[in-house]
Structure 1
Amino acid sequence: MKFNTIVKAFTIFLICVGCKSKSTLIWEDNFDGTTLNEKYWNFELGDGCPNLCGWGNNEKQIYTKTNHELKDGFLHINIKKGANNYSSTRITTKGKKEFKYGSIEARAKLPLAKGLWPAFWMLGSNISEVGWPRSGEIDILEYIGRKPNTVFNTLHFQEQFGDKAYTKTTEIIGIEEGFHVYAVNWSPDKISFFVDGKELFSYNPTLKNKNNWPFDQPFYVILNTAVGGNLGGNDIDDHLFPQKFIIDYVRVYSH
């Protein structure tokens, strides 16, 4: 039995990753059972067309409801190469589980192939009203197979987005080996990123406004793996397919 499935019946108090004080666990998904809990998660399907072809990043994959499985308490996002396409899974908590501030973390194991782009990230819940990047984006984990031993953490907002986003890459030797905990600690004043409890970098503008700090509203969680695209790159190693992005859990703590 997975350790994180032992206690669920009552509120849990513990030291969260990247926090110096105790926090309250307010939501988690341990991916138990055999079916994704659609009270928490939505599937985003297809190739993004007609409104956002390539999902806005020239990605090569289509997203389906069949490229995932729950097995032994883990979510497996299966990335496959077909005869004429690539396929993967993208799920979100939009409209179901949205959070304003706190510590958000996932324990996950990365897929290993050039051209893959696994991610654990968040978007502002008002994206349908104001669009991107005004909604804001928090990229807790991005990894690309063409740049091993490297983790990307990024914030997108009106003043800095896309190729000019507020971002940092961190070399972590062995990040491809086994499971690691990827986390963000988000307060009204500051956003900080962590891997395995080690702080990588922070964002804390002195003067906050809607153009540099859309992070004062609820955000929702996204898990996916893209193939190719602007960050993943078009040099895709087809010989290493299929691959898996494996997620042990997602947890959210209040401050």
Structure 2
Amino acid sequence: MKKYLLFIILVSNFTFSQKNERKLVWQENFNGNTLDTSVWNFELGNGCPNNCGWGNNERQVYTKDNHEIKDGFLIINAQKEDSNYSSTRITTAQKKEFQYGRIEARAKVPTGKGIWPAFWMLGSNIKTVGWPKCGEIDILEYVGKEPMTVFTTLHTEDSHGNSINSKKTTIHGIEDGFHVYAIDWSKEKIDFFVDNKLVYSFNPKEKTEKTWPFDQKFFIILNVAIGGNFGGPEVDDSIFPQQFIIDYIKVYQ
């Protein structure tokens, strides 16, 4: 037990020292009254005609109206009105893109069957090479049908969709209050953390175009999906409205 505790302390200290050795190169604190459109883009609609259901049979329509900036928080509101679900999805594509470093967000997840919030990244070359060749880094995914569980996943050309490069981590109390979700990304590997605890590492032995599309810039995405291949298929309509609350995003390099 003493050896185990010593290991945990050493890992925590190493993570803390890594963070302190780097420089804070960008942060979004969601100050003010409106979203900064010099940083953020809205993705709107249901994905049609080219990507209906956003590629996952999701039920929501994304709008500019399902969010608010309040008291230094971004609040994404997932709602149901009549038979329609709505939410917000924003990205930093072509505005704030990053290669390597520690990328983290402090957030509080919504809950309930059918809800699917995410803090994730896509390769900046997605419009030229498409998905999954561009690569995808899912720093946080939570699905209400599996409470007390955090998903951390990589999608590559070699492993996409139901990716084998994924970890489910049981965290009691993850629905309570705010938690920090982060990656530490280098040329060699990507480590995933929840509240500074290492939960998953991705480090393929052979780094090829198919297994490691991560030597390029990526942009950040925040959204709440409803239902779909991963979040559904069942949706409990009694849970709405739900809020995904983001305190900040920080990037250290």
The TM-score range, normalised by the shorter chain, is over 0.9
The answer to whether the 8 A contact 2:154-2:165 is kept is: yes
The answer to whether the 8 A contact 1:18-1:198 is kept is: no
| Percent of matched pairs sharing the same residue | 62
- Counterpart AA for 1:181: V
Residues 18-33 of structure 1 mapped to structure 2, 5 A cutoff: 19=18, 22-33=21-32
The 10-residue stretch of structure 1 (140-149 or 164-173) with the greater mean CA deviation from structure 2:
164-173
Deviation sequence 1:30-86 (CA, Å, 0-9, x none): 001110001110000000000000000000000000000000000000000011210
Q: CA deviation at 1:118?
A: 0.2
Q: Are residues 18 and 208 of structure 1, via their aligned partners in 2, closer, same or farther at CA, if it must alter by over 3 Å?
A: farther
Structure 1 portions without partners, runs of 5+: 1-14
What is the Cα-based RMSD across aligned positions, in Å? 1.3
- Counterpart AA for 1:154: T
Which aligned segments of 4 or more residues in structure 1 are displaced greater than 6 angstroms?
Answer: none
**What CA distance in whole angstroms lies between the structure 1 residues aligned with 2:125 and 2:19?**
31
Structure 2 portions without partners, runs of 5+: 1-13
Q: CA deviation at 1:19?
A: 2.9
Aligned residues: 240
Q: Are residues 76 and 133 of structure 1, via their aligned partners in 2, closer, same or farther at CA, if it must alter by over 3 Å?
A: same
**TM-score (normalised: structure 2):** 0.93
1:85 is matched with which residue?
84
**What CA distance in whole angstroms lies between the structure 1 residues aligned with 2:84 and 2:164?**
30
Q: Are residues 78 and 215 of structure 1, via their aligned partners in 2, closer, same or farther at CA, if it must alter by over 3 Å?
A: same
SS in 2 for 1:66: coil
1:66 is matched with which residue?
65
- Counterpart AA for 1:117: W
- Counterpart AA for 2:60: Q
Q: Which has the higher helix share?
A: 2
| Aligned: 1:38 with 2:34 | no
1:12 is matched with which residue?
none
**What CA distance in whole angstroms lies between the structure 2 residues aligned with 1:183 and 1:252?**
10
SS in 1 for 2:200: strand
1:10 is matched with which residue?
none
- Counterpart AA for 2:192: F
**What CA distance in whole angstroms lies between the structure 1 residues aligned with 2:251 and 2:239?**
33
Deviation sequence 1:69-128 (CA, Å, 0-9, x none): 000000000000011210000000000000000010000001011100000000000000
**What CA distance in whole angstroms lies between the structure 2 residues aligned with 1:226 and 1:125?**
22
The answer to whether the 8 A contact 1:16-1:253 is kept is: no
**What CA distance in whole angstroms lies between the structure 1 residues aligned with 2:232 and 2:17?**
31
**What CA distance in whole angstroms lies between the structure 1 residues aligned with 2:49 and 2:56?**
14
